[in-house]
Structure 1
Amino acid sequence: MSAVPGSEERFKESLELAVKYAKELSCSKIHILAGLKPTSSPKGNVRCFNKMEQTYISNLKYACSRLKKDNILGVIEPICPQAVPNYFLDSFYQAMKYIKLINEPNLKLQLDFYHLQRLHGNITENLNMFFPYVGHIQISQVPDRHEPDSDGELDYHYIFNLLQSLEYSGFIGLEYKPKGDTIDGLKWLKTFPNCSIG
């Protein structure tokens, strides 16, 4: 709800609860969700977008200040319309604009390859461009959002090698829908060197 005008106090309360859970679980990152654009607003309504953008920037600044007290990283994630229609943050370039504008070390990009491919494609060039701002990575196959080794548009052997060459050392979240049983769906890890569940 961080981009939803009128929800500022609710956002702050929600953030406090998230911090409480993060501290109890020794979690060092919190995903700050932007929220949805109103469906009643005509597509391309500039005034509505500008108001949401102002709210989003203000709330992100507040979140950075609040999270800094507990040494927590805030991450923002662009989400494609196929996954969440009308989501406010629907472009990686838009996300980078806010990260650079706010310019706080504890605000980073949550890069989900599913959304990157759906929104922009051009994985190699975009990963190289966005990588210095990445705080967390998530994966799934495109278009069906199944296991990374399932049939689809993305070659995760290539992507993992690219991440290794960029010296990515963080966790990679498995945000996919298993084609069948969850445990059976994890067998793909055996075919990828240096992959394990942490």
Structure 2
Amino acid sequence: MSIKFSANITMMFSELPTLAERYGAAKAAGFKYVESAFPYFEPLESLRDAKEKAGVEQIVINTWPGDLKKGDVGLAALPDRQQEFESKLDLAIKTAKALNCKRIHVMAGMKPDNCNEAEMESTYIKNVTMAAKKFQPEGITCLIEPLNSRITAPRYFLTDVNKGHIQIAQVPDRGEPDRQGEINFPYVFDLLRKLNYDGFVGLEYKPRGNTLDGLKWIKEYGLEV
């Protein structure tokens, strides 16, 4: 059984300045599947055309993040951002449909200093339920994903659930999932095969140098994209 790797073009191929350009780069590197975090800051038509020209499949996008410059990473668990979250769901659906993307990750958001965990959990459940109901008629699957609280997002609300979209990077530098770190990825990939995991594995890492040079780990592990 082969593993279906999805190149996260928000983080990979950063040698190119736009997401639109990175679709073609991912295809040239051999990828059939791509994902991107927040495809809301470039013209949607250019993203759609670039994706179609490259002939790759868009696996997943995230919901509207909020204000990235202020540290927002999603809104779904934030009681005081309820209206903003709901108003941006239609934008997420419009974007997903334009990219023929069948999965949307509903991002929970960061815990504020005056965090009320019970209230945040109630808000999150309400919003995920609402999102799933809006996605269903469009044939879109609602995903949740726990983030790494040690490195990626220490104050992120959702950090520990049994199921979520799988994305990988090496620890501690969040670089390529090669042998230069703490995680034994050959074991992880072998386990996914044994479990007959048929979902996608998103490559959400920060290349240590040139993206193409860094992809040598795939062949070293005897894998393919």
What TM-score results when the alignment is normalised by the length of structure 2? 0.63
- In 1, the alpha carbon distance for the partners of 2:198 and 2:146 equals 22
Aligned to 1:14: 88
Q: 1:182 is aligned with what amino acid?
A: T
Aligned to 2:112: 38
- In 1, the alpha carbon distance for the partners of 2:100 and 2:210 equals 29
Say how many residue pairs are matched.
150
- In 1, the alpha carbon distance for the partners of 2:189 and 2:199 equals 12
Matched, 1:163 2:209: no
Q: 1:190 is aligned with what amino acid?
A: K
Distance 1:80 1:137, change over 3 A: closer
Unaligned regions of 5+ residues in structure 1, if any?
Answer: 97-108, 111-135
**3-state SS of the aligned residue for 1:78?**
coil
- In 2, the alpha carbon distance for the partners of 1:9 and 1:79 equals 24
Structure with bigger helix share is 1
Q: Per-residue CA shift, 1:82-124, capped at 9, x if unaligned?
A: 21131111222xxx4xxxxxxxxxxxx32xxxxxxxxxxxxxx
Q: Per-residue CA shift, 1:45-66, capped at 9, x if unaligned?
A: 6xx1111111111111101111
Unaligned regions of 5+ residues in structure 2, if any?
Answer: 1-74
Give the CA deviation at 1:150. Answer: 3.8
Q: 1:55 is aligned with what amino acid?
A: T
Q: Per-residue CA shift, 1:58-82, capped at 9, x if unaligned?
A: 1111011111111111111111332
Segments of 4+ moved more than 4 angstroms: none
- In 1, the alpha carbon distance for the partners of 2:176 and 2:130 equals 36
Matched, 1:176 2:205: yes
What TM-score results when the alignment is normalised by the length of structure 1? 0.71
**3-state SS of the aligned residue for 1:195?**
coil
Matched, 1:73 2:138: no
RMSD (Å) for aligned C-alpha atoms = 1.5
Aligned to 1:88: 157
* Bigger relative contact order (CA 8 A; separation at least 6): 2
- In 2, the alpha carbon distance for the partners of 1:167 and 1:193 equals 18
